[in-house]
Amino acid sequence: MGKPTGFMEYDRELPDDRSPIERIEDWDEFHLHFDEKRLQTQGSRCMDCGVPFCHTGTRLPETTPFASGCPINNLIPEWNDLIYRGLWKEALDRLHKTNNFPEFTGRVCPAPCEGACVLGITEPPVTIKNVEVSIADKGWEEGWIVATPPERRSGKTVAVVGSGPAGLSCAAQLNKAGHLVTVYERADRIGGLLMYGIPNMKLDKEYVQRRVDLMEKEGITFVTSTEIGTDIQATELVESFDAVVLCGGATKPRDLPIEGRDLNGVHFAVKFLHQNTKSLLDSKHTDGNYISARDKHVIVIGGGDTGTDCVGTSIRHGCKTLSQFEIVARPPDERAPNNPWPEFPRTYKLDYGQEEAAAKFDYADPREYLTSATKFVGDQNGNIKELHTSQYEWVTGDDGRQFPKPIEGTETVRPVDLVLLAMGFLGPEDTILDQLDLERDPRSNVQAEEGKYTTNVPGVFAAGDMRRGQSLVVWAFKEGREAAREVDRYLMGTTDLP
């Protein structure tokens, strides 16, 4: 703790983002950065709190999907203290002890660490996320982040299926242990969700490719445009490697099976976002190989990060109007009584996409809560032209569970040219699971115990969203690292991996 009175002397500050009206004209990252002096001031606010809940990564209670603190257990008080003292390289070393890719989490993680900050009980919490990404960026700028291949190879081979957050962190750790790692990715670029699921304005793909290039120099083999289960049978993969880790994600999107669902112009958000980023990287959108929102009335159904990304992407395309529906109620401005510290705060926020919509279309917020579609209606050519909606209320059924019920008399008809379904994901796709006859949990995910990650097939492990279901990027990083540790133990009988 560098400055015992820092949290009393300084207020929480964040660097300004680029102006919404300015940034919607391009696909560049919208976050700006502080200089070192202001970052050090923010680091000095970190308290000698005794029990740093910020890095516990605990679920409170165990049944909730929300984490209290950092799931990968970042040593936050330590590197806050180090940057306050000007010891940036040492701070980077501490950050890398728990986090393979801080330049990613510092950009896209929702920061459950800040929600569990002890200072946050009475004051605005410590600025953790911005300090984290600044440490990582300085490490790259100063040339401190370099390839470090293992000194010895074990001779053991491991296949990692999927190059998203779980796959990359798993591969990085297994390579450190000296194993020969091959990562298979069905897309044409490595990165999974990091490459094609998150738009460029949130995570510049140059940063993703920079890290992938480094991992290649360290000895990891990446194979793109190869789908396991189709191009290579899953059983063949298991026979060819000493161990296999399934990190394919929960990529089966939740549908909205109402009348008119098959009309042209109704798309899953994941397809919309993937095609947009691929076309941007391939040709700066000149090839036209993407679903365009230009001059269209756009409606996004669903919230969360995916819905926000659809909003921001549609605005950059030049949509005519934009609305977003969420079936849930508007979150409260402050923590509700049933959401106490140090739980992840489920409170209202105007995210970057909604901020941009508000600026462009003069909305307070483009989201309409407790609202969803009841019917899609098309024209004579099979193109969607209008959307019927209703307001909903949540009622308790006979089984004690709550479900949304439409409110009579609240039906509305809206003109629309493009509907994007951003309603979350149901679980992993079936091909690999069926070919290997893998056991599943009640939610259709691969059955593998957290902390062990072993499946019912010897030598086959599962981690990330493919095992736990749709979750945060930081949980995938955690599971990839822990799965690597268990694979190393399986191959060598013991392990030194954390």
- Each of the 498 residues of the chain gets a pLDDT tens digit; together they read 668 899 999 999 999 999 999 999 999 999 999 999 999 999 999 988 888 999 888 877 765 666 789 999 999 999 999 999 999 999 999 999 999 999 999 999 999 999 999 999 999 999 999 999 999 999 999 999 999 999 999 999 999 999 999 999 999 999 999 999 999 999 999 999 999 999 999 999 999 999 999 999 999 999 999 999 999 999 999 999 999 999 999 999 999 999 999 999 999 999 999 999 999 999 999 999 999 999 999 999 999 999 999 999 999 999 999 999 999 999 999 999 988 999 889 999 999 999 999 999 988 899 999 999 999 999 999 999 999 999 999 999 888 899 999 999 999 999 999 999 999 999 999 999 999 999 999 999 999 999 999 999 999 999 999 999 999 999 999 999 999 999 999 999 999 999
CATH assignment of 6-141, among 3.40.50.2300, 1.10.1060.10, 1.20.120.80, 1.10.1520.10? 1.10.1060.10
Q: How many residues does the chain have?
A: 498
H-only helix segments in 142-284: 165-176, 205-217, 234-240, 269-283
Buried b or exposed e, range 16-55, using 16+ CB within 10 angstroms: eebebeebbeebebbbeebeeebbbbbbbbbbebeebbbb
Residue 265 forms beta bridges with which residues?
none
Q: Answer left, alpha or beta for residue 319, where phi above 0 means left and psi between -120 and 50 means alpha.
A: beta
State both tokens at 203. Answer: 């995570």
Paired tokens of 415: 């003109």
Cβ-based neighbour number of residue 495 at 10 Å: 16
Say what the pLDDT of residue 105 is: 96
Enumerate the domain spans of the chain: 6-141, 157-252+426-492, 255-423
| Distance between CA atoms of residues 269 and 386, nearest Å | 19
Fold agreement between 6-141 and 157-252+426-492: no
CA distances from 241 to 148, 155, 238 (A): 24, 11, 6
Cα distances (angstroms) measured from residue 280 to each of 224, 320, 357, 386? 19, 21, 21, 29
311 within 8 A of 322, measured Cβ to Cβ: yes
Q: Is the Cα torsion angle 362, 366, 368, 373 positive or negative in sign?
A: positive
Are 222 and 190 contacting, i.e. CB atoms less than 8 angstroms apart? yes
Task: For residues 83 and 42, give the distance between their C-alpha atoms in angstroms, rounded to a whole number.
Answer: 9
Angle at 118 between CA 117 and CA 124, to 5 degrees: 65
Task: Specify the DSSP element, H or E, that contains 79.
Answer: helix 76-84
Q: Which residues pair with 266 in a beta bridge?
A: 419
If 0-12 CB within 10 Å is exposed, 13-18 middle and 19+ buried, where does residue 486 land?
Answer: buried
Tell me the fold of 255-423: FAD/NAD(P)-binding domain (3.50.50)
**Residues in CB range of 23: below 8 A, 6 or more apart:** 17, 30, 201, 356
For the stretch 275-304, pLDDT in tens is: 999 999 999 999 999 999 999 999 999 999
CA 29-32-34 angle, to 5 degrees, is: 150
pLDDT in tens, 441-474: 999 999 999 999 999 999 999 999 999 999 999 9
Could you say which DSSP state residue 119 is in? Answer: G
- Protein fold of 157-252+426-492: FAD/NAD(P)-binding domain (3.50.50)
How many whole angstroms separate alpha carbon 369 and alpha carbon 324? 9
Cβ burial 249-259 (10 Å sphere, 16+ → b, else e):
bbbbbeebeee
d(CA 241, CA 409): 61
